[in-house]
Chains A and B, each alone.
Chain A
Amino acid sequence: MSKFKKKKKGLPAISTASLPDIVFMLLFFFMVSTTMRETDLLIKKPFLPTASEVKKLEQKSLVSTIYVGKSKDSRISGDKIQVNDKIIDVKDVPSFIYSERALRKEEEVKYMTTSIKADKEASVGTILDIKEQLRDINALKVSFSTSRGNDLSGNYK
């Protein structure tokens, strides 16, 4: 009887020793999945349109991104095109694609995709100009970057 009682007395505290392990596991997950913003946007952050029939872009390393949006300076009107860290003119788009191609292996070039991240207020003329330039140099895979959603009424007013 007394033996039985003794056992019950010392209720052990819950060990928190494994808590750091759990937290570290989460930590490593987020460390690995984090991508620090590589490009600083010189234009206003493009407000992407919404679309429901989107495809995910695979192989991020083969994607070159072109940003289109308004200048941060509100006095400057019109759409600005940004690649990497500089604002360029439409006719410089081919040289950007060539420089992107130079970074990849030759056999990967045909899988390269150009992602156009344009503001929904941008004018189609700019986008079509870019598309024409891309056609000229045979960079035919294009993706119009959008956010996923079913309510498209925000795209136009």
Chain B
Amino acid sequence: MARRENSEINAGSMADIAFLLLIFFLVTTTMDVDSGIARKLPEKSPPDQKNDVIVKQKNVFDIVVNRNNQILVEGTDYVKVTDIKELAMKFIDNGGGVGNSIDGKPGEPCDYCNGAKDPASSDHPSKAIISLQSDRGTTYGMYVTIQNEIEAAYNQLRNNLSNKLYGRSYDQLLSDYDNDPTESLKAKIDNLKDKYPQIISEPEPIK
């Protein structure tokens, strides 16, 4: 009649149960962070208002994409989508003339541009407009790719300028601002956005 010692409750199977649940949730988890290319649509103008803005042809970078996903820039050159970033950067950063006049003062030439200062290309980043006209039959993948290339061009220019002014890239500033939103960082980011504003126009699609 040997009495057994009071043994501990065996907790070994507890792990199995927990594992079972764990595996279930592991399988069903979808950690999809929704990410994408953010765009702000232009506001609808009142119908009675005529607001035809006259823009010089040289300040518009024309991208037309047809239903076969072929791209034409400036009405003459047939290019690949991978070339758009380079061309757009060249166009925006050209700085061949003076910028918009602010408070009645005459516009100043772009002193931070590194472009060729070609008088036949855009005057100033604040005047440079990128126009993307697509066909209704263009595939969405192509459309997003072009949008992405335009975005990349602006980001690259902002990065370059940011490196020069603040010793850090624009992406770095943005992620720093996410972690620690301070006024000085915001001022820097706004300044960069101001220097290279995104002006993208999307005319009516080709029918």
Contact = CB atoms under 8 A, between A and B. Distances in A.
A17 interface: yes
Interface in A123-139: 123-125, 127-128, 131, 134-136, 138-139
B139 interface: yes
Contacts of A35: 29-30
A119 B140 contact: yes
Interface string A97-119: 00000000000000001011011
A138 B43 CA distance: 7
B81 A156 contact: yes
A53 B151 contact: yes
- The prevalent SS among residues of A at the interface is mixed
A154 B176 CA distance: 32
A33 interface: yes
Contact of A53 (B33, B40, B148): B148
Contact of B140 (A31, A36, A118, A136): A118
Contact of A20 (B11, B38, B43, B136): B11
A3 interface: no
Given A142-B39, A143-B36, A148-B35, A124 B152 contact: no
B37 interface: yes
A37 B135 CA distance: 34
B143 interface: yes
A134 B39 CA distance: 12
Contacts of B33: 56-57
Q: Give the size category of A's interface with B.
A: 35 or more
Given A20-B14, A142-B39, A52 B141 contact: no
A27 B18 contact: yes
Contacts of A16: 11-12, 15
A53 B34 contact: no
Contact of B136 (A68, A124, A143): A124
Nearest to A46: B140
Interface string B124-167: 00000000001111111111110110011001000000000000
Contacts, number: 167
A23 B22 contact: yes
A82 interface: no
Interface centre among A125, A135, A140, A147 (most CB of B within 10 A): A125
Interface in A49-64: 49, 51-57, 60, 63
Contacts of A120: 139-141, 144
A43 interface: no
A119 B137 CA distance: 14
A53 B143 CA distance: 14
B69 to A, nearest CB: 5
Contact of B144 (A27, A125, A144, A157): A144
Interface in A7-60: 16-17, 19-20, 23-24, 26-27, 30-31, 33-37, 49, 51-57, 60
B37 A155 contact: no
B41 to A, nearest CB: 4
B78 interface: no
21 contacts: A16-B12, A16-B15, A20-B18, A23-B19, A30-B25, A33-B29, A49-B144, A49-B145, A52-B148, A54-B35, A115-B34, A120-B140, A121-B140, A124-B142, A125-B135, A125-B137, A135-B44, A138-B43, A146-B36, A155-B141, A156-B69
